Structure 1
Amino acid sequence: MLKTPELSMPRTNKVTTVRNGKRKVWTDYEEAKAYFLELMISTDGEEHERVECVYIQLLHGLEECSDEDE
């Protein structure tokens, strides 16, 4: 039997982001995505890469998104 991948599961509206060691819990997933998209556009260099990492995870629907390597 096929298993449903985690990324295709319906996500909650709550998401936790971790950037530069600071954890923030968002109650609106779309607000978090918009914030990180705007931040990604306005930064460059290493900070841009950190923000981009979180934003990509948000696009994939993860419930916890981090710029840290695990």
Structure 2
Amino acid sequence: MLKTPELAMPRTNKVTTVCNGKRKVWMDYEEAKAYFLELMMTTEGDERDRAECVYIQLTHGLSECSDVDE
């Protein structure tokens, strides 16, 4: 049995994020998660909410994460 469910794991290490209108392609999934976690913990208000939205999507293993509600 796997310790982490397969669906929660990213299929590739590459992830694209869009936060506050800025698009960035990350080659390291864990680096992206660490960046957005730190951003979420060090900001307030709308900026924190945007970072939290992207971070939650990253934790769910999505390959494209955005702060835009669709």
TM-score computed with the length of structure 1 as normaliser: 0.86
- Structure 2 residue aligned with 1:32: 32
CA drift of 1:14 comes to 0.1
SS of aligned partner of 1:12? coil
Amino acid at match of 1:68: V
The letter of the residue matching 2:22 is K
Structure 2 residue runs of 5 or longer lacking an equivalent are 1-5
Paired position in structure 1 for 2:17: 17
Which contiguous aligned blocks of 4+ residues in structure 1 show a shift greater than 2 angstroms? none
- Deviation of 1:10 (Å): 4.9
Larger radius of gyration: 1
TM-score normalised per structure 2: 0.86
| AA in 2 matched with 1:39 | L
What residue ranges of structure 1 are gaps of 5+ in the alignment? Answer: 1-6
Q: Distance in 2 between matches of 1:48 and 1:22?
A: 15
Identity of aligned residues (%): 78
**Count of residues in correspondence between the two structures:** 64
